[in-house]
Amino acid sequence: MAEGLGRPGRVAVPRDRENDYSREAAAMRREFAQEHTGAALEHVGSYSFDPAVLAGNIEHFVGVAQVPIGLAGPLLVNGEHAQGEFYVPLATAEGTLVASYNRGMRLLHEAGGVTVTVMDDHMQRAPSFIFPSAREARDFDGWLDEHFDEIKAAAETTTSTGRLQEIERYSAGRMLYTRFNYTTGDAAGQNLTGKATQEACRWIRANNDTIEHHFLESNFATDKKSSTVNMLHTRGKRVIAEATVPNELFQRVMRSDSRLMYRARQISNLGGFMAGVNNNGAHSANGITAMFIATGQDAANVAESSAAYVYAELRDNGDYYFSITIPSLIVATYGGGTGLPTQRECLELMDCYGAGKVRKLTEIVAATVLCGELSLGSAIVAEEWVDAHDAYGRNRP
């Protein structure tokens, strides 16, 4: 039975109370949209999977956004979890993007591959606690140390995979801001940490009567926002990708030069510093977004995940060492959108679907980003950037 009731004057999107995840329910909403807007959703309504699989992933389902997927590779990764060659799916509508990453992958394949290291792994929820004065807040800081084991036990009653590692504390006025740091297995973990921290806060409130009030999230986890605290302390995976490229390869493959690349890197560092950026690299958001869409990640996490530190060295022999540190890469190989049919296929393409694969995916994403940084940097140095967009991109006549 369709439902579309609301206040007078407001026409709600219809729902089917008995089975809202069906082709019929989706068609009903497309007809509703056409009736009220005049737009026919012919392509939106063309999809291959059963809408029944979407419960928990979408509401008011009408169809799909078909984003083109290109394949780049082979990407040669020398990781601790990802080892060997991979072909990387990139979902994008930006011309030249796949070609650019593919070119960077060729360069680094000939250079011996990308070495990738996962340095840390944390997901946060950040409750704040309010006290009568700063003195009670100071005492609570010590109380958390004394009762960490009980707090950890309470939090972990809600999850089979999440583990509370530590509680950071930051005082201001009569508040104590905290960051509950968890490992979350193969899930991204935002919902997991919320549920676990809520249970931990219930235990804390039941056992500490000095707290006037608390908020489960104080904005100190900076969910879906880049921040200095997460760049320094990690949110998601902290991962470093690095490679050393001989000058001969820059000249032959990229028509550029390692010395000019290094000089451009210095100019870029200063320009970024002057602009106040959170990323002194070129375009990490491009590759990360394209991989996130293809593999069913939460695309809004690009806000945090694309922040990066780039470091380069020009060696005495002309070799160019280049690294990118991504301090807040939030990825999953289980849960969320990763199990949807097309997204699962893209993960399976890299052998990254399911349990035990999240660090492998982390390393592949970071290696891909490094390839894109060197490719775009070379195109700028060789003055091929605009020409490439004219030839392959959106500036077509």
- Catalytic residue numbers, as ranges: 94, 298, 389
| Structure letter (DSSP) for residue 355 | T
CA distance 323 to 339: 32
Cβ distance 33 to 48 under 8 Å?
Answer: no
- Distance between CA atoms of residues 358 and 374, nearest Å: 25
Angle between helices 385-392 and 97-110 (to 10 degrees): 130
Distance of CA 99 to the CA centre of its chain: 22
- C-alpha–C-alpha distance, residues 155 and 198, integer Å: 8
DSSP H/E element including 88: strand 83-91
110 to each of 70, 114, 243, 246, 310, how far by Cα in Å?
22, 10, 11, 10, 21
Q: What is the 3-state secondary structure (H, E, C) of 141-184?
A: HHHHHHCHHHHHHHHHCCCCCCEEEEEEEEEECCEEEEEEEEEC
For residue 381, give the nearest of 247, 244, 272, 284 by alpha carbon: 247
